[in-house]
Structure 1
């Protein structure tokens, strides 16, 4: 992928200039059933501003949907002044369901415009555009499946990563347990302060059961979210195996970098442990050449 357009974007945004992303001209994609990108201009359109780009439904599946057909990607205020839209040249970007892709913030619109800018001339690849896909989910799927999304999140709440602890009576897990206690306890304290109920911690592989009042308090917060907020929380919860961590990000308790550290805590510990075991094994076999992986910082 080209890096020059990305640098231009950052430079222009830093200088407070209009968000204009420079790209290359490409041919229109050959027609293929289900994968055609429709450039639509009503017969009554008086200006080019009324032209739109409708993405095919296959955009949500990740397949290549056609060659790049635009030169510039820009952002501008929505026609009603409420929200932001992405423009591909003079065309307004629409969702696969042919709805205007109206975004709640300029920052999100710029990020999605950047995803469109980084597309190569030989094909538009949806799997490289996670924010575009998330925005389409928030606009089209969450409004009609909102209750189901919240129910699924609450079903997994009792098996939350933050509530589960490794046993502290085993040599192989004591190290993980200590790190979990160090890193997760402040989050549990935050849950207690934020929702008014102390979470239950358990070591069972199958999880446990949280207090009904805590569960109700968390569900109430989810019901008050916007469609974009709920879509983001749901996506993060699926990746993190945790609802508490996305809620902590949403409420400003955690930054993304810290959240990733918590999500990867056990995995990172196992990687470091395996490095030490490799080093130990290498020292036990004299006369053999053993490649040892040294832990970070050593």
Structure 2
């Protein structure tokens, strides 16, 4: 069942041709929900931790509003009989409320500083009830394509990774930037690329040799780029990098823009490596190169013992979605 769901989400992600071309070739599970034009009993009320696509107003009556907002539902708020919020897990493959719009378009923001997405005559909004103002027309069209792809029978949030990343960059990053950087730096000394398997026995020597072959060039790039030689270690609990390197990486994160930090955070979470995430953002690593480094040890195990269907293949598919969508998001945000 899980294998089928991941395959479906991969297939959906690849449908827009421009995304396939850009990706060249998934942040932990999140909870999203949508709105349908239907009635629902109070027993189906969403939890306070879910997000929803719902109509919203800026100080006006919701029934007369002409915009669409993504926000956390208030469980104490009286429901409007014309809409219903249905919570769902981001990776369940569930279909939520019926598609409530016919046409998806993009237009320049009212202040001519960015681009917005229109669902019929309604402007797509962020959780804080502001228009989803995107930095480039390319990213706006990509997110519009995600909404256009949604089927008549329901909206599938798991097929909209760019929409998720855009909301993260526009809403979460500006509000929690210090905390995001703090969490990334907490794990820096245990970064995947700093760890080496022992080379003194037959079980691990081939892994060590492959790490030297594939990862050492990345570490050499880190030394050349930032002026400090990374320390490698074989302890499961990691080691301690030089303070100069730690401070340099932290300053890099502080100077990154919101889209860059959202991309770094998303890739680092799935790659268990801040260095790999920075390598992608700064153009050192391509998507396939990054995936090869992330899966280096496990791929060697698969070569030796075989691939487990419903396990390894699902992990690979999920990893491709997560890394590719983040890299494509950053590339589109930078497009002129």
TM-score normalised per structure 2: 0.68
Deviation per residue, 1:50-69 (Å, 9 max, x gap): 93211342679637652101
CA separation in 2, counterparts of 1:60 and 1:223? 34
**Equivalent of 2:226, from 183, 195, 215?**
195
Deviation per residue, 1:151-205 (Å, 9 max, x gap): 1100100011111111111211111111110110110011001110000011111
Paired residues of 1:95 and 1:101 also in contact (CA < 8 A): yes
Secondary structure at the counterpart of residue 197 of structure 2: coil
Paired residues of 2:53 and 2:68 also in contact (CA < 8 A): no
Matched, 1:133 2:148: no
Which of structures 1 and 2 has the bigger CA Rg?
1
- After TM superposition, which residue ranges in structure 1, 4 or more long, deviate above 6 angstroms? none
**Equivalent of 1:180, from 197, 211, 229?**
211
Query: 1:116: Cα distance to partner?
Result: 1.1
Paired residues of 1:142 and 1:231 also in contact (CA < 8 A): yes
CA separation in 2, counterparts of 1:127 and 1:28? 17
Matched, 1:155 2:186: yes
Query: 1:233: Cα distance to partner?
Result: 0.5
Gaps of 5+ in 1: 14-26, 44-49, 277-298
CA separation in 2, counterparts of 1:69 and 1:193? 52
Match of 1:30 in 2: 38
Match of 1:289 in 2: none
Secondary structure at the counterpart of residue 93 of structure 1: strand
Matched, 1:54 2:64: no
CA separation in 1, counterparts of 2:231 and 2:53? 52
TM-score normalised per structure 1: 0.77
Deviation per residue, 1:273-292 (Å, 9 max, x gap): 1149xxxxxxxxxxxxxxxx
Match of 1:88 in 2: 119
Deviation per residue, 1:103-148 (Å, 9 max, x gap): 1122222221122122122222222222211111121111121101
Q: CA RMSD in A?
A: 3.0
CA separation in 2, counterparts of 1:255 and 1:102? 28
Which stretch of the first structure deviates more once superposed, 111-120 or 31-40?
Answer: 31-40
Gaps of 5+ in 2: 1-7, 22-34, 47-51, 74-86, 308-336
Secondary structure at the counterpart of residue 158 of structure 1: helix
Match of 1:207 in 2: 238
CA separation in 2, counterparts of 1:240 and 1:222? 17
Matched residues, number: 255
Matched, 1:76 2:93: no
> Higher RCO, 1 or 2 (CA under 8 Å, sep at least 6)?
2
CA separation in 1, counterparts of 2:168 and 2:157? 13
Secondary structure at the counterpart of residue 228 of structure 1: helix
CA separation in 2, counterparts of 1:181 and 1:117? 45
**Equivalent of 1:227, from 246, 255, 258?**
258
